A and B are shown apart, each in its own frame.
Chain A
């Protein structure tokens, strides 16, 4: 029988705060190898197909960027929330509403063309995401309703609302009854970065810009300091004159706008129309990205690429080995688990104690000097 005991470090370990994502990744690999072996696949072959092959050619790197863009955009916003100890877990819904708002122009006013269309769509997307995020923020500040539960419930509502739109009022009349809107016109499609090399679009650039901007805000500006103070000690924040309610709105609107931007970028760039399902769970996977990136915007860029690879790898093993692409979700879940576990090492030393080996007398002897010390 083993017992785990945590011993608080005098200060946070710089070594482990760098190492912990890597240890977590290694542990995920080991667990993944066991999982593949249980599924009857040679783990080395599976890893090759899962992690190496999907990024071995240039066009595939473009696919990686397409998947990473929404993850990074959303996660960067969420990291500010989580730093402030505010739990927006409904980014998936804000993503969807951003996509819906941004699509108003190409779906309802397809005759409107020109260089203004894209900026307007992006703006509307951010407004849509922010508006949808303002609901849990309002309920939390006005009625102190738990934002975890409300923001999550709104995800289901958003999914159903999108489903209704594309099957009902927004359905393409010439679409042979398929539940989808009309294809966006040329001026409503987010341009590709390097059309000759692959499909990656401006969404990835938005993600990088957002990451750098938020990093500057968090590390160089008063607002970032406010977020950190309120997150670690609301009481201290109050003494400093930082309003908690204002912070709730700020973080929700910011993360909602970024999720909305991700939504419209995805629809306008990668899909080209609205469909009943426009996201393979980006809003939830972004939570993992935020934590794997240690809630640091620059770390999140790296983490976003890793998680994007798990999506591509999932598709690859499905077509090559006939394993369900749900394997991607399993990898993502395990990764978050191990990251959270490894983060303990930053603040604590872990001591394993063999309970069965310790005789009662020995325990007493052990306790005695401590009493002395206490006196």
Chain B
């Protein structure tokens, strides 16, 4: 029983950064912007979070720093793609490349340093109820943030007027602009929200998942988060499901390696990436589903005629 609980807990820990980053990107893409820089914003959040935590000794300040760094970094993307109408694919890629380089440079002095870890929630008595206690009341704070964030985004997108407006911009920025909606304001805020989420996800990596700084520690999670959004056909609760499936794959291959299954470890390590491809193929085979849900103006630059 204890083993099952432990495995479930590690799956939740592995799924949390994927979920947060994907939920952020979902909002960005719903507004019609494709930000391929998730990996870069995530790794910047990771190094910023670790650095701030290491220097101040407080993991909470670290977490806050991760969010701020992620948001600031995404602002760069917003200025380029929104104000200067650059190609979103190329700009997103360059954000990732810049983030990987910059984080490596900033993090040189953090390599091998002991980090600080966000403590798990520990409510006396309740947290020690068998099974349920630790699963529901004994996880790290970011886990709860991720669940709350998913619910909040679901509510915001489909139950509020602002959310409806955001989705309408994603479907047709020209019509939205003609109706007098401030397309740029919405998109700027959406991109920054996505950046803050990716930063938070990175902070989770370096403050909870493995409380230390390792170069390239995001290991493609930002890209998997992007794939999750497509997999979920831009619906928050499906992102949640997808993130946990991928968390399970990630943890599953680690456990398989630890058990000494006679398959080369490299093959097991490549499972999450192969799973991403398989899942993308399965979902995109269904053309109607994808066509109906893809924000129609996704990735297209918008320059209004004034």
**Residues in chain A within 8 A of chain B (CB atoms):** 4-6, 8, 82, 87, 89, 139, 143-146, 148-150, 152-154, 156-157, 160-161, 163-164, 167-168, 284-285, 287-288, 291, 323-324, 326-334, 336-337, 340-341, 343-344, 348, 350, 370
Once A153-B220, A160-B270 are accepted as A-B contacts, the answer to whether A333 and B284 lie under 8 Å apart by CB is no
> A341 near B104 (CB under 8 angstroms)?
no
Q: How far is the CA of A143 from the CA of B290 in the complex (A)?
A: 11
Once A146-B280, A153-B220, A157-B273 are accepted as A-B contacts, the answer to whether A340 and B80 lie under 8 Å apart by CB is yes
Q: Which candidate, B91-99, B122-130, B154-162, B164-172, is the interface stretch facing chain A?
A: B91-99
- For B100, the closest partner residue in chain A by CB is A329
- For B84, the closest partner residue in chain A by CB is A344
- For B275, the closest partner residue in chain A by CB is A153
A contact residues around B254 at 8 Å (CB):
none
- For A285, the closest partner residue in chain B by CB is B97
Is B152 in contact with chain A by the CB < 8 A criterion? no
A contact residues around B266 at 8 Å (CB):
160-161, 163-164, 167
Q: How far is the CA of A288 from the CA of B277 in the complex (A)?
A: 25
> A337 near B85 (CB under 8 angstroms)?
no
- For B105, the closest partner residue in chain A by CB is A326
Q: How far is the CA of A334 from the CA of B85 in the complex (A)?
A: 17
Once A160-B267, A160-B270, A337-B76 are accepted as A-B contacts, the answer to whether A149 and B101 lie under 8 Å apart by CB is no
Q: Name 14 extra pairs, CB < 8 A, besides A149-B226, A340-B80, A340-B86.
A: A6-B85, A156-B220, A156-B273, A164-B266, A324-B104, A332-B101, A333-B94, A333-B97, A333-B99, A333-B101, A336-B97, A336-B98, A337-B94, A370-B306
Is B120 in contact with chain A by the CB < 8 A criterion? no
From B91, B99, B274, A157 is in contact (CB under 8 Å) with B274
From A82, A87, A164, A288, B267 is in contact (CB under 8 Å) with A164
**Residues in chain B within 8 A of chain A (CB atoms):** 36, 76, 80, 83-87, 89-91, 93-95, 97-102, 104-105, 108, 219-220, 223, 226-227, 230, 264, 266-267, 269-270, 273-274, 276-277, 280-281, 284-285, 287, 290, 303, 306
Q: How far is the CA of A206 from the CA of B276 in the complex (A)?
A: 35
> B277 near A150 (CB under 8 angstroms)?
yes
A contact residues around B269 at 8 Å (CB):
160
> A336 near B90 (CB under 8 angstroms)?
yes
- For A328, the closest partner residue in chain B by CB is B101
From A4, A154, A340, B91 is in contact (CB under 8 Å) with A340
Choose among B102, B226, B266, B303 the residue with the greatest number of A CB atoms under 10 Å from its CB.
B266
A-B contact pairs, 28 of them (CB 8 A): A4-B83, A6-B303, A139-B280, A143-B284, A146-B284, A149-B226, A149-B230, A152-B223, A153-B277, A154-B277, A156-B220, A160-B267, A168-B264, A287-B97, A323-B105, A324-B105, A329-B102, A332-B97, A333-B94, A333-B97, A333-B101, A340-B80, A340-B90, A340-B91, A341-B80, A341-B84, A341-B86, A370-B306
5 closest cross-chain pairs (CB), A and B = A329-B101, A333-B98, A326-B104, A164-B266, A336-B94
- For A334, the closest partner residue in chain B by CB is B98
B contact residues around A5 at 8 Å (CB):
306
- For B39, the closest partner residue in chain A by CB is A152
A contact residues around B284 at 8 Å (CB):
143-146
A contact residues around B93 at 8 Å (CB):
89, 287, 336
Q: How far is the CA of A325 from the CA of B192 in the complex (A)?
A: 30
Q: How many A-B residue pairs have CB under 8 A?
A: 139
> A139 near B227 (CB under 8 angstroms)?
no
B225 to A: closest C-beta gap in Å: 11
> B85 near A344 (CB under 8 angstroms)?
yes
A321 to B: closest C-beta gap in Å: 13
A contact residues around B102 at 8 Å (CB):
326, 329-330, 333
- For A87, the closest partner residue in chain B by CB is B89
- For A329, the closest partner residue in chain B by CB is B101
> B84 near A6 (CB under 8 angstroms)?
yes
- For B87, the closest partner residue in chain A by CB is A340
A contact residues around B99 at 8 Å (CB):
333
- For B79, the closest partner residue in chain A by CB is A4
> A4 near B281 (CB under 8 angstroms)?
no
Q: How far is the CA of A341 from the CA of B290 in the complex (A)?
A: 31
Choose among A164, A284, A285, A337 the residue with the greatest number of B CB atoms under 10 Å from its CB.
A337
> A149 near B276 (CB under 8 angstroms)?
yes
A contact residues around B104 at 8 Å (CB):
324, 326, 329
A contact residues around B274 at 8 Å (CB):
153, 157
> A337 near B84 (CB under 8 angstroms)?
no
Q: How far is the CA of A229 from the CA of B74 in the complex (A)?
A: 33
> B303 near A153 (CB under 8 angstroms)?
no
From A8, A164, A327, A341, B303 is in contact (CB under 8 Å) with A8
Q: How far is the CA of A323 from the CA of B277 in the complex (A)?
A: 38
A83 to B: closest C-beta gap in Å: 12
From B101, B105, B227, B285, A143 is in contact (CB under 8 Å) with B285
Once A8-B303, A160-B270, A164-B267 are accepted as A-B contacts, the answer to whether A343 and B280 lie under 8 Å apart by CB is no
A4 to B: closest C-beta gap in Å: 4
A contact residues around B290 at 8 Å (CB):
144
From A157, A287, A337, A341, B270 is in contact (CB under 8 Å) with A157
B contact residues around A329 at 8 Å (CB):
97-98, 100-102, 104-105
